Structure 1
């Protein structure tokens, strides 16, 4: 059956949200370094266990499981500027899943972005990142996905606008934005650094959210990892290349690791799409792999930032009025948890003072948190997270703008004032 993948929108899937395709597992042998060898039951069990771990690293379940549905049975609607995509059933069901795919078919999809029949896959299936995954890891993921229970649920066709429903257009897209090839270790770096780079750039596909996309749905490669607004989700994925945003050059490795593994650290907490990534994927990774990812992230150099999105600005006088109004709103609603001095009580209540995510050029994330509230992910290291209550019903657009302005400009923070119109635009944004 033709693999129905996702469309060319490299930032639509949360840091996250990865599409992996299971294929036929023979049950008696597997490929290792391209050579077929006999698999004992113990070998097969070990391979499946490894594949389950790697599938977690790729966050396959996030895209291919509807809330309350059977695992990997697909059907999740994903709105994009090009139309609505529906994730496919990737269980090993022969009729509606991909049970008739071979192991080589699976690797070809991962490595080249081509389906079983050779047709081009839409690159919201992140083959631009998965091409870096090794054949051995691809085979392990294949073995695991072939072991899950088959589900007889047909995949729903995508509802893409013309001309984006024409797969032939992907030829041009691939020429511009896709370079095939497995990850090549940097001999000047440590084994740990290379492991982190392999996970971040490959299975983790972090660039899908943290790199801006252009009008063609392609990544702005000149600003890789430099941050960008996730289309239609209206969350801002901060820059990993600038210490003014989420660049981690001045963070301790422990704080980075805690944030990835637990969703909270002494430096802050994750919310929104990143919370889902931690909940579904990162909390299950080994301490060694999380440390390797942290090591790599800490060394990503600063570079040119992503193209700035239009942000409404206020006059200096109105900004001053908002700041004064916001001080009282903060004292009445926020200081109990985040303290008068903005230092909070981490990790339960994150600090707002000297918090990069508060004072970035884009104010999208703090506005959405005040409006909608939210929780960090529930993880093994933080099983009962403290949440942020929503204030959308309690505060007007101007009041939200005022308190966010106050937070962005107090305790040494250097953010700009927020416009009530920005709040109005985000008030109706989707919560997921």
Structure 2
């Protein structure tokens, strides 16, 4: 009888576990609606929604290169394969035109699509769950009044078993903590606004935190830095340890313009974020910077900045890099360059990329540059990936590290340059 009771007990546990598994893996669909008329939305709410969508960087992930805004199709590289961003225009067939506000809110808060399938956590619903009901309604109003675009995203290309969506439910058990942000009454209104924007809408930790083996943010390491699309997202909690510690004014300027006079220019995945933040009220960015500067960890300050040293003994690689620098870089970045004054280009001695632990961002900057984007040319930098091979990129990196930083020389730079060139060409 004892063994039979144990057997029934084990069976009961198994059945209960199966019931829980089915309950979390499968969600009911929410009935489709007829696409709402744009005129049915309050214009004031639509304007508020533009601000919310910009703070959430929605257009950054949901717009493919040369594609229509919000029409999806952008490939998002993950350690598990490629996910393609979906169409969030109000197109009724390929977008969210038949989604009710209820379905939209469930997707943001719980990562569940209108038809009940699990959304992959490349969509940062674990952060969006903190957004208020009003902000969700505003974002919905804004997106549902955009131009509908008939565009289907390519099929995702993920490894087994992640190419099946139901297991994502178990990931949610580990990492999704549902609920609106609750203000900290011991802090100021600006600080609370900043924390809500950084942890919620802005989902900054998604890029600026290391991930674990199953793609979740590592516990206890929020804002310690991460890797996004081949670029380093530097730690947001170490800005006080830069060669020139960041001030709030510099950080506000950087987030709104993509450059800071004593730190450098935004590039890679961060550049479009700054373009979005340029469109929101300055008080939002001031709140973001107030919170970020409040989470700085104590640490060893970076060695003081230096300028290029004439007559310094260089390695063969640095000597080759010096010649390349004089040919291609000195006119903008040389010590006597007029572009440093006219274009507000800081000395490379202050550069986060030049002073980083790895050469990743320096390589990416030299290889890919900063694309031309309209009248604002101050952030422009040409790409050299077609002009220089991996060894030449490595030589340039060796030169600027030795000439403009007091930190140790980087190692295996050419191998990283080759690896990043291959990865970038596949995107």
TM-score by length of 1: 0.78
Instruction: Provide the secondary structure at the position in 1 that maps to 2:358.
Output: coil
> What does residue 346 of structure 2 align with?
350
Q: How does 1:254-273 map to 2 (within 5 A)?
A: 254-267=249-262, 268-273=264-269
Q: How does 1:271-290 map to 2 (within 5 A)?
A: 271-279=267-275, 281-290=276-285
Pick closer, same or farther for the CA change 1:319–1:228 going to 2, 3 Å. Answer: farther
Instruction: Provide the secondary structure at the position in 1 that maps to 2:350.
Output: coil
Query: Are 2:425 and 1:427 aligned?
Result: no
Instruction: Provide the secondary structure at the position in 2 that maps to 1:359.
Output: coil
Query: What's the offset of the Cα at 1:88?
Result: 2.0
Q: How does 1:371-390 map to 2 (within 5 A)?
A: 371-375=367-371, 383-390=376-383
Query: What's the offset of the Cα at 1:325?
Result: 4.0
Query: What's the offset of the Cα at 1:274?
Result: 0.8
Query: Are 2:210 and 1:212 aligned?
Result: yes
Query: What's the offset of the Cα at 1:320?
Result: 4.0
Query: What's the offset of the Cα at 1:101?
Result: 2.1
> What does residue 18 of structure 2 align with?
none
Contact 2:261 2:344 in 1 (8 A): no
Aligned Cα root-mean-square deviation (Å): 3.2
> What does residue 340 of structure 1 align with?
335
Structure 1 stretch 172-181 or stretch 407-416: which is displaced more?
A: 407-416
Query: Are 2:69 and 1:76 aligned?
Result: no
Query: What's the offset of the Cα at 1:360?
Result: 1.1
**Runs of 5+ in structure 2 lacking a partner?**
1-31, 301-312
> What does residue 55 of structure 2 align with?
57
Query: What's the offset of the Cα at 1:304?
Result: 9.8
Structure 1 stretch 421-430 or stretch 318-327: which is displaced more?
A: 318-327
Pick closer, same or farther for the CA change 1:286–1:400 going to 2, 3 Å. Answer: same
Pick closer, same or farther for the CA change 1:342–1:48 going to 2, 3 Å. Answer: same
Deviations 1:122-160 (A, max 9, x none): 111110110111111011111111222333334544333
Instruction: Provide the secondary structure at the position in 1 that maps to 2:423.
Output: coil
TM-score by length of 2: 0.79
Query: Are 2:384 and 1:391 aligned?
Result: yes
Deviations 1:327-363 (A, max 9, x none): 4443443332222389971654232113333111121
Query: What's the offset of the Cα at 1:26?
Result: 5.8
**Runs of 5+ in structure 1 lacking a partner?**
1-21, 29-39, 306-317
Deviations 1:175-225 (A, max 9, x none): 222211211222222111111111111111111111111221111132111
Distance 2:64 2:46 in 1: 23
Higher relative contact order (CA 8 A, sep 6+): 1
Structure 1 stretch 133-142 or stretch 157-166: which is displaced more?
A: 157-166
Q: Name which one, 1 or 2, has greater alpha-carbon Rg.
A: 2
Query: What's the offset of the Cα at 1:59?
Result: 1.7
More helix by share: 2
Deviations 1:359-399 (A, max 9, x none): 11121010122223224866xxx822252233334444333
2:145 to 144, 147, 151: 147
Contact 1:401 1:418 in 2 (8 A): no
Instruction: Provide the secondary structure at the position in 1 that maps to 2:292.
Output: helix
Pick closer, same or farther for the CA change 1:413–1:84 going to 2, 3 Å. Answer: same
Contact 1:211 1:220 in 2 (8 A): yes
Query: Are 2:189 and 1:185 aligned?
Result: no
Distance 1:343 1:362 in 2: 29
